[in-house]
């Protein structure tokens, strides 16, 4: 990140005694004072329960681990902020919940299965399947993957690490009936499936729903306590919609597609008719089949467009890249929720990179203490109101009137605004970061810690993986966040485990080999994890010699499980990031995995899903233990053979980590990708030992969470490490039958340790109107957020159901939503054979198709290798919306014309990039195309591409088999231009590195699996094309319930 600057004094910009003013902050990351170690941390006592490791335990206060921060500043000195006048001790419950009644479970049955291809043969609303959805049961009975019910070993009393971390410092004491640590299974998708069942939970459409449809216009904002819509004469006060009621028919509207139907002219409803888009179906020329003009189908060729309609309405809201709701119109009643059919919830990316020019300000309340609501623990935000001449403030979430602390008092002006408002970013900005005082810690903030667990068996050597990993780590050593506190350590393994003593007094690292895999012990525990700045030269020497140390290794075994336990023992005192590099199937010791393999006979049976979940409970148990000790795991897997990513990935899934998969890795071909992605992983700004909670207004609550994390309590996400590349999705439900407020508020709070050693709380606050009108919900829908939540639910469903079931569930949910929407309009309009949908959801159908064709969900046995499927699933569970949408509907651009032009500005090309529909029809055999899904490029050479283009780009390789050719910049203008284009495309998003795969038209099977299978609009194999998909959905929408 380049923010570490060893010579810079820390905290000079923000004295701890300063009044709570905001300091504009250069970025969203904790970048100030990288070496600002204000502590001389006291390592907690080591875990006593881990056998031989006890010898390592330094007494409290020891810094034997080499963790010796030197900065004497006492920024977070307890004496400074230990007595805030209004601070309620943590025991008072910062995260107290509203004691509201449980939302009654709505009756539902899982959707019947509908084949993705062909006419809709099923009755979508039938619920013959009587078993409840098992996908979100805490413990799928068929597979022994859960934790033992007995959870005593989860938090051994002797382990003095952050057990109380969240509870005492960040969250409220919960009712005693709640477990202090929810079982892992339920954490992933919440055990409360009956409240708001993720995918299968469709509420049956009432046959008479049409008759109940409100015919009144939007009552937005809704009227509290009343369901009576405003009289027709009162036009909605929501300005964004004024003028939206009678949009002109666009002259440019493609044939067959009506945009924003104006409604019946002259009627009472004139000017108030709903807007919607539609597709007309008719016979296609030359065919008796009904169809629709393909060109008229909507396509998201602009990629994800961040919603901004509310930015004007609610300028105080946080930016949408931090928090997006699936609809920004919150339903006021549970009956509305049940008619919404799409997921109701939010997608949170708490550390998203700030929009340029909108850095998140940092606020230090110092001795005043952080201002929070006494009752619900909401943080002060732009939506609180001040009264009583400035002496009181009213909480926007629970309405409690709080005292304003003396230090925080300011007079109000004539309009009731605080006179110091412009110096208070926490009262004017939707996103803000508070410096947390010691009350928010149960131990001194941990130093950034990177631990590497590296496979050195023969395949790791031969693939070149070890060499690339060693080189990359070495090149990043000086850019790891948190200098000079950063800690580092290494373990390598094959059939034995190799430890490395990196003590700073050594000139060479010392290697110790442990071959007893059954009784792991850690030799020299104090010197395996060292302070990077002190041991910099030993670590550098080690990395230089690592590849050669094992270059002749012929060991084929992998004692992965025992090595993982050893790493856990070394790390458990501090926590941190564990990066695992695994090149083979774990074969020895605990956690060894067998070649379960991918069995074609299992597909289509009720055993299919078992392939996609870990078989050995070891992995989940380890993940739980790792999370408990603030360890996040990133798994890098490389093998060309089956490595059981389903099991390995579990480690990342429950620890807030990430899975990187490089099947069939060869350093000569894939080295650049690994180098880039590992570098980013190591140097991106990281939030450590974090917990996150999202509060929301009275009457609604989050009922399930989806992503890579573990739930620490019903609503507290444990995130040992978080960064800008991670997003989390959650579903909402109403706790009350009827919401009586006009607005609801959401507040994301991420408590974490910055790499500089400061404890911080990042807050994002957002408000949204409550509506009583279903069409308003649809109008304010956010397809990106919906698809994001949809994807996570569908992927989760593949862990307990057949792939086909997961796909059908996606399709049926879209059908239900569109049917409901159609019913809304059927009364007023003669819809005929038209398919109608809200403008806001015009891409939903296509994204639904793309999701069904995505690697985790597509086809069956033959359509994706099992490991690849599982790895993609883990990746997609964590992706921010923008990346996910790009992966689902990648960009396809043609570049040969540009390359042939004598001049041409690459930047201009990229700025005006014309993305093409993802269909084979877009490919002209005279052209050169780039396909970019954010993870890779496929460069397609048309058969009739002018030979000089191929010659210029490929040199003498132009006639060779392209699978063996790698693209490099050659000494000609065309080649340089192409390189610049690719570089420009990569710069759009740095989270992953796109490698180039070259393919020639007609070169099979490569063309098929690299490109054709990803052209989501085409009908390939047994999957539907876009047109068929639309027709299927349209037919099912038209069917009577």
Where on the chain is the footprint of Zn ion (CB under 5 A)? Answer: 373, 375-376, 378, 395, 397-398, 400
In the complex with Zn ion, which residue's Cβ is closer, 392 or 970? 392
Structure tokens at 60: 């409290």
**Beta strand extents in 565-656 (DSSP E only):** 576-582, 631-637
Is the distance from CB of 822 to CB of 1034 less than 8 angstroms?
no
In the complex with Zn ion, which residue's Cβ is closer, 97 or 174? 97
Minimal distance, residue 380 CB to Zn ion, in Å: 10
In the complex with Zn ion, which residue's Cβ is closer, 388 or 908? 388
Minimal distance, residue 329 CB to Zn ion, in Å: 23
In the complex with Zn ion, which residue's Cβ is closer, 284 or 400? 400
Minimal distance, residue 743 CB to Zn ion, in Å: 14
CA 564 from chain centre, in angstroms, equals: 25
For the CA atoms of 981, 984, 988, 992, the dihedral, rounded to the nearest 10 degrees, stands at 80
Site of tokens 């876009």: 1026
Minimal distance, residue 441 CB to Zn ion, in Å: 23
**Judging by beta carbons within 10 Å of its beta carbon (0-12, 13-18, 19+), is residue 92 exposed, middle or buried?**
middle
Measured in degrees and rounded to the nearest 5, phi and psi for residue 775 equal: -65, -25
What contacts 29, CB < 8 A, 6 or more positions away? 1, 3, 351, 685, 724, 754, 755
DSSP string, 107-169: PEEPPPP--SSSS--S-TT-----SPP-TT-SS-TTS--S--S--GGGS-TT--SGGGHHHHH
Minimal distance, residue 451 CB to Zn ion, in Å: 41
In the complex with Zn ion, which residue's Cβ is closer, 90 or 942? 90
Burial call 4-29: b when 16+ CB within 10 Å, e when fewer? beeeeebbeebebeeebebeebeebb
Structure tokens at 712: 């620490």
In the complex with Zn ion, which residue's Cβ is closer, 365 or 745? 745
DSSP 565: H
Minimal distance, residue 397 CB to Zn ion, in Å: 5
Minimal distance, residue 732 CB to Zn ion, in Å: 19
In the complex with Zn ion, which residue's Cβ is closer, 398 or 999? 398
In the complex with Zn ion, which residue's Cβ is closer, 383 or 940? 383
In the complex with Zn ion, which residue's Cβ is closer, 402 or 572? 402
Minimal distance, residue 398 CB to Zn ion, in Å: 3
Minimal distance, residue 94 CB to Zn ion, in Å: 11
What contacts 825, CB < 8 A, 6 or more positions away? 274, 276, 831, 836
Which secondary-structure segment (H or E) carries 394?
strand 392-394
What's the Cα-to-Cα distance from 216 to each of 79, 269, 707, 775, rounded to whole Å? 60, 8, 39, 10
In the complex with Zn ion, which residue's Cβ is closer, 397 or 893? 397
Minimal distance, residue 384 CB to Zn ion, in Å: 9
Minimal distance, residue 92 CB to Zn ion, in Å: 12
DSSP string, 458-520: HHHHHTTHHHHHHHHHHHHGGGSTTTTT-EEEEEEESSSEEEEE--TT-SS-EEEEE---SS-
CA 788, CA 1005: separation in Å to the nearest integer?
Answer: 31
Minimal distance, residue 524 CB to Zn ion, in Å: 51
Site of tokens 């009784």: 519
Site of tokens 């132009």: 958
The closest alpha carbon to 745, from 722, 769, 780, belongs to 769
Minimal distance, residue 218 CB to Zn ion, in Å: 29
In the complex with Zn ion, which residue's Cβ is closer, 761 or 962? 761
In the complex with Zn ion, which residue's Cβ is closer, 378 or 800? 378
Beta-strand relationship, 497-501 and 487-493: antiparallel
In the complex with Zn ion, which residue's Cβ is closer, 39 or 95? 95
In the complex with Zn ion, which residue's Cβ is closer, 376 or 962? 376
Minimal distance, residue 402 CB to Zn ion, in Å: 8
DSSP string, 893-935: EE-HHHHHSSS--HHHHHHT-----SSGGG--TT-EEEEE-SS
The closest alpha carbon to 570, from 524, 533, 535, belongs to 524
CA 932, CA 897: separation in Å to the nearest integer?
Answer: 18
């Amino acid at each position: 990140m380049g923010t570490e600057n060893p010579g810079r004094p820390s905290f000079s910009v923000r004295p701890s005694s300063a009044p709570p003013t905001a300091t504009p902050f250069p970025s969203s990351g904790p970048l100030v004072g990288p070496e600002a170690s204000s502590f001389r941390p006291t390592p907690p006592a080591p875990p006593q329960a881990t056998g031989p490791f006890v010898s390592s335990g330094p007494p409290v206060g020891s810094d034997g681990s080499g963790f010796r921060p030197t900065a004497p500043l006492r920024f977070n000195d307890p004496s400074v902020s230990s007595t805030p006048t209004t601070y309620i001790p943590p025991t008072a419950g910062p995260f107290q919940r509203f004691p509201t009644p449980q939302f009654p479970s709505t009756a539902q049955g899982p959707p019947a299965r509908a084949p993705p291809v062909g006419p809709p043969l099923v009755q979508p609303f039938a619920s013959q399947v009587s078993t409840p959805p098992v996908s979100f049961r805490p413990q799928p009975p068929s597979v022994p993957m859960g934790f033992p019910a007995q959870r005593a070993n989860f938090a051994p009393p002797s382990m003095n690490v952050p057990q109380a971390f969240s509870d005492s410092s960040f969250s409220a004491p919960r009712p005693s009936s709640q477990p202090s640590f929810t079982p892992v299974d339920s954490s992933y998708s919440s055990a409360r499936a009956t409240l708001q069942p993720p995918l299968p939970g469709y509420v049956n459409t009432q046959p008479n729903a049409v008759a109940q449809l409100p015919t009144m216009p939007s009552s937005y904002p809704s009227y509290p306590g009343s369901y009576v819509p405003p009289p027709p004469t009162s036009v909605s006060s929501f300005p964004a919609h004024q003028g939206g009621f009678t949009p002109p028919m666009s002259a440019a509207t493609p044939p067959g597609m009506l945009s924003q139907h104006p409604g019946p002219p002259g009627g009472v409803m004139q000017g108030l008719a709903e807007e919607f888009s539609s597709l007309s179906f008719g016979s296609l020329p030359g065919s008796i089949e009904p169809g629709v003009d393909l060109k008229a189908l909507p396509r998201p060729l602009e990629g994800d467009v961040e919603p901004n309609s509310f930015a004007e309405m609610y300028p105080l809201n946080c930016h949408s890249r931090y928090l997006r709701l699936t609809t920004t119109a919150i339903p006021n009643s549970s009956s509305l929720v049940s008619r919404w059919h799409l997921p109701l919830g939010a997608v949170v990316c708490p550390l998203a990179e700030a929009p340029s020019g909108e850095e998140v300000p940092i606020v230090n309340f110092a001795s005043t203490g952080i201002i929070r609501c006494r009752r619900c623990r909401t943080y002060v935000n732009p939506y609180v109101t001040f009264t009583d001449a400035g002496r009181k403030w009213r909480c926007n979430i629970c309405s409690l009137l709080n005292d304003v602390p003396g230090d925080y008092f300011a007079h109000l002006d004539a309009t009731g605004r605080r006179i110091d408002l412009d110096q208070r970013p926490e009262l004017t900005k939707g996103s803000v970061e508070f410096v947390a005082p010691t009350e928010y810690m149960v131990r001194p903030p941990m130093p950034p810690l990177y631990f590497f667990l590296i496979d050195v068996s023969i395949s790791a050597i031969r693939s070149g993986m070890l060499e690339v990993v060693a080189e990359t780590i070495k090149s990043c050593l000086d850019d790891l966040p948190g200098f000079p506190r950063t800690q580092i350590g290494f373990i390598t393994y094959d059939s034995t485990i190799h430890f490395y003593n990196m003590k700073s007094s050594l000139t060479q690292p010392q290697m110790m080999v442990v071959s007893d895999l059954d009784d792991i012990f850690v030799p020299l525990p104090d010197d395996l994890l060292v302070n990077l700045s002190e041991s910099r030269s030993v670590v550098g020497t080690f990395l230089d010699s690592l590849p050669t140390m094992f270059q002749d290794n012929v060991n084929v075994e992998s004692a992965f499980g025992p090595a993982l336990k050893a790493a856990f023992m070394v790390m458990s005192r501090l926590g941190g990031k564990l990066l695992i590099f695994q090149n083979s199937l774990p074969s020895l010791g605990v956690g060894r995995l067998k070649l379960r393999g991918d069995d074609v006979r299992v597909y289509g049976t009720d055993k299919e899903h078992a392939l996609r979940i870990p078989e050995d409970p070891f992995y989940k148990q380890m993940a739980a233990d790792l999370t408990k000790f603030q360890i996040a795991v990133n798994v890098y897997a490389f093998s060309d053979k089956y490595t059981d990513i389903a099991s390995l990935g579990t480690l990342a899934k429950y620890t807030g980590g990430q899975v990187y998969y490089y099947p069939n890795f060869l350093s000569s071909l894939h080295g650049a990708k690994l180098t880039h992605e590992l570098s980013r992983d190591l140097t991106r700004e990281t939030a450590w030992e974090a917990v996150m909670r999202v509060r929301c207004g009275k009457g609604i609550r989050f009922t399930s969470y989806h992503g890579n994390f573990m739930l620490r309590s019903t609503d507290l996400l444990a995130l040992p490490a978080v960064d800008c590349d991670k997003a989390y999705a959650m579903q909402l439900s109403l706790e009350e039958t009827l919401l009586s407020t006009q607005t609801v508020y959401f507040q994301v709070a991420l408590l974490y340790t910055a790499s500089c050693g400061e404890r911080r709380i990042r807050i994002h606050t957002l408000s949204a109107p409550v509506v009583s009108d279903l069409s308003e919900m649809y109008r304010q829908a956010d397809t990106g957020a919906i698809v994001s939540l949809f994807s996570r639910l569908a992927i989760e469903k593949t862990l307990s159901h057949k792939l086909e079931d997961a796909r059908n569930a996606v399709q049926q949910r879209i059908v239900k939503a569109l049917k409901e929407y159609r019913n809304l309009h059927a009364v007023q309009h003669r819809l005929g054979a038209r398919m109608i949908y809200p403008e806001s959801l015009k891409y939903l159908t296509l994204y639904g198709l793309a999701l069904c064709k995505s690697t985790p969900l597509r086809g069956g046995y033959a359509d994706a290798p099992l490991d690849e499927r599982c790895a993609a699933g883990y990746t997609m569970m964590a992706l921010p919306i923008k990346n996910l949408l790009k992966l689902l509907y990648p960009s396809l651009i043609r570049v040969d014309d540009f390359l042939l032009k004598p001049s041409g500005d690459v930047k201009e090309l990229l700025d005006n990039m014309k993305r093409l529909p993802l269909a084979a029809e877009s490919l002209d055999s005279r052209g050169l195309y780039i396909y970019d899904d954010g993870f890779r490029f496929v460069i397609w050479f048309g058969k009739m591409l002018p030979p000089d283009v191929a010659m210029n780009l490929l040199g003498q390789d132009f006639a060779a088999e392209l699978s063996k050719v790698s693209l490099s910049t050659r000494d000609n203008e065309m080649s340089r231009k192409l390189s610049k284009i690719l570089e420009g495309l990569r710069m759009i998003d740095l989270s992953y590195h796109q490698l180039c795969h070259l393919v020639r038209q007609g070169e099979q099977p490569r063309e098929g699996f690299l490109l054709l299978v990803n052209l989501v609009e085409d009908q390939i194999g047994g999957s539907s094309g876009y047109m068929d998909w639309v027709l299927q959905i349209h037919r099912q929408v038209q069917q009577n319930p």
